[in-house]
Amino acid sequence: MSDGTGAATGSGADADTGTDTGAGAGAAPGAGRRVRVVLVDDHRMFRTGVQAEIGRTEVTGVEVVGEAADVDQAVTVITATRPEVVLLDVHLPGGGGVEVLRRCASLLGAPEDPVRFLALSVSDAAEDVIGVIRGGARGYVTKTITGTDLVDSVFRVQEGDAVFSPRLAGFVLDAFASTDAPPVDEDLDRLTQREREVLRLIARGYAYKEIAKQLYISVKTVESHVSAVLRKLQLSNRHELTRWATARRLV
């Protein structure tokens, strides 16, 4: 999806962000502090919801200075606005969050005022977490995070802290503690990033409607992805798919 980018235009309309926002982002975690943020996500509805939730600068201290829907847009907006923190989705058209990090490497490593990245994704897969952290992100939180906690995470990343949703930190510790390269799974490599997301949710017992809602896609698109996964893995039904995913510890 490519739906345009540009400077934020206020709090935006209310939208279902797919997160449990609780009471919303309350008082900023540190009165008087400010942080400039760019939102990178290929779902406009999600960006609008995050903007409405955390972008009330007078309340949260977060100023959303730009948005992007794919890799090229992200690099352009980040370079132009030089935010302090980028909220980065992992799966994006054009190469994903890792590609954004690669192309913004000089901004990450700037000796003064570096741009810091916080991954914000629906995926909690170990390879996604490890990939963006190796790419230079300072943290990784899932889209189940509340608005208040997301604001707090943004400020912590701005200050140089590493921030992770519960259980995800273990993936990073295990990965960096090991000197062994992860084995290549040729079957899994046949799948696109989106197909992997659908695969994991199917294996966890989600219904098509639930998957569509969580990934912000239509039920028909979910069905198409499932058909593609079954074809590529030479499986017959979702029960075989679940066994396949469980055997590889993808669930």
The pLDDT tens digits of the residues spanning 128-186 come to 888 888 889 999 999 989 999 999 999 999 998 989 887 787 766 665 655 454 455 67
pLDDT digits (tens, 9 = 90+) for 10-60: 433 333 434 443 334 444 444 578 999 999 999 999 999 999 999 999 999
In terms of Cα–Cα distance, which of 179, 191, 199 is closest to 249? 199
b/e per residue, 130-139, with b = 16+ CB within 10 A?
A: bbbbebbbbb
* Mean pLDDT, all residues of the chain: 82
For the beta sheet containing 62-68, the strands, ordered from the edge strand earlier in sequence to the opposite edge, are 62-68, 35-40, 85-88, 116-121, 139-142, 163-164
Q: Average of pLDDT values for 210-229? A: 90
The Cα–Cα gap between 72 and 95 comes to 9
In terms of Cα–Cα distance, which of 14, 19, 92, 4 is closest to 55? 14
Residue 61: band (very low, low, confident or very high) from pLDDT cuts 50, 70, 90: very high
pLDDT of residue 100: 94
| Threshold 0.75, pTM exceeds | no
